[in-house]
Amino acid sequence: MITKVNLDPILPLVKKPGRYIGGELNSVHPDYSQIDFSFALVFPDLYEIGMSHQGLQILYHIINRQPGLAAERCYAPDVDMEEQLRRHELPLFSLESRRPLAEFDVIGFTLPYELCYTNILTVLDLAGLPLRAEDRGDKFPLVIGGGACSMNPEPVADFFDLIVLGDGEEVILDIIATLRSAREEGFSRAETLLRCAEIQGVYVPSLFKPQYMDGQLTAIEPLKEEYTEVTRRIVPELPPVELLTHPLVPLVKPVHDRFGVEIARGCTRGCRFCQAGMIYRPVR
């Protein structure tokens, strides 16, 4: 039996309740009697922006296609909804089942651009989690980051247990398999993070110590001899097209009001101002 946040008293008080009710065409509603591992996928910006992000939808469908796994979504609430959640002392929740984020096994944040970093802290606070990873004990879900900005993870490293560098389609299932195994073996949070450090593309901030001089990051010192660097994860081929043949259809008009199909990843031009052109190499 899972907890369900009651939104009835506050939905009439916000500008766009459609952002928070879920039930979109092609969304997945897990039967938790058949689920042993749950994942909350968080886009730390408004629903209209997050629903235009194809990466989150890809991960959503990859996880939900696996037996025993459930992925639900959460987007950063607008200021009016945030105010109502705090006033009524309600936790931030997932769209599909309105389950509090703190009850999931993992909370996974997309890091699309730096201006959303403060929203990450808002989401953690509304979910009832300590902001810093070092303050979260075994009872809290693991907090994972990934996406474009993960290639420069240090500005937000203190808030994450793990950060994925590179493409997420394969590594997300590797992480879930490792976490499931660690739970079955009764590992502590620290032991679990050590196990995750063995996965290619996974950066565990607690296993490194940043060095600063005059406020500038000068070095990142590894704390384990066998874990001194992280290699970016690259999928050799784009994910199968059938993953997005049943896309989530927004209830509120998104910023990219169209159907997107990924026909390539990366760019041959190499413009230095273009984040995607740099970090999504090689071109596929």
Residue type, 23: G
Work out the pLDDT band at 13, boundaries 50, 70, 90.
very high
Reply yes or no on whether the pLDDT at 96 is more than 80. yes
Report if residue 13 sits inside a domain.
no
Lowest mean pLDDT among 11-15, 217-221, 233-237, 259-263: 259-263
Q: What is the mean pLDDT of residues 46-58?
A: 94
pLDDT band at 277 (very low <50, low <70, confident <90, very high): confident
- For residue 81, the model assigns a pLDDT of 98
- Residue range 154-187, pLDDT digits in tens: 999 999 999 999 999 999 999 999 999 999 999 9
Does residue 242 surpass a pLDDT of 90? Answer: no
Domain count, the chain: 1
The predicted pLDDT at position 48 comes to 97
Cα dihedral 179/96/92/14 (nearest 10): 160
From 95-109, 119-133, 211-225, 266-280, the region with the lowest mean pLDDT: 266-280
Q: How many residues does the chain have?
A: 284
Strand partners of residue 180: none
CATH number, position 69: 3.40.50.280
**157 against 282, higher pLDDT:** 157
Residue 211 banded pLDDT, cuts 50, 70, 90: very high
Predicted local distance difference test score (pLDDT) of residue 243 = 77
Inside any domain, residue 123 = yes
Q: Is residue 26 part of a domain?
A: no
pLDDT at 254 exceeding the cut of 80: yes
Q: What is the pLDDT of residues 137-153, one digit of tens each?
A: 999 999 999 999 999 99
Residue 188 within a domain: yes
Is position 261 within any domain?
Answer: no
**How many other C-beta atoms are found inside a 10 Å radius of the C-beta of residue 45?**
19
Q: Are 133 and 163 in contact (CB under 8 A)?
A: no
This prediction's pTM:
0.95
The predicted pLDDT at position 267 comes to 86
Domain that holds residue 134: 31-241
- Identify whether 257 is part of a domain: no
> CB–CB of 39/52 below 8 Å?
no
Is 164 inside any structural domain? Answer: yes
Q: Give the rounded percent of residues in the chain with a pLDDT score beyond 90.
A: 84
- pLDDT at position 177, please? 97
Report the alpha-carbon distance of residue 248 to residue 53 in Å, rounded.
11
- The answer as to whether 251 is a domain residue is no
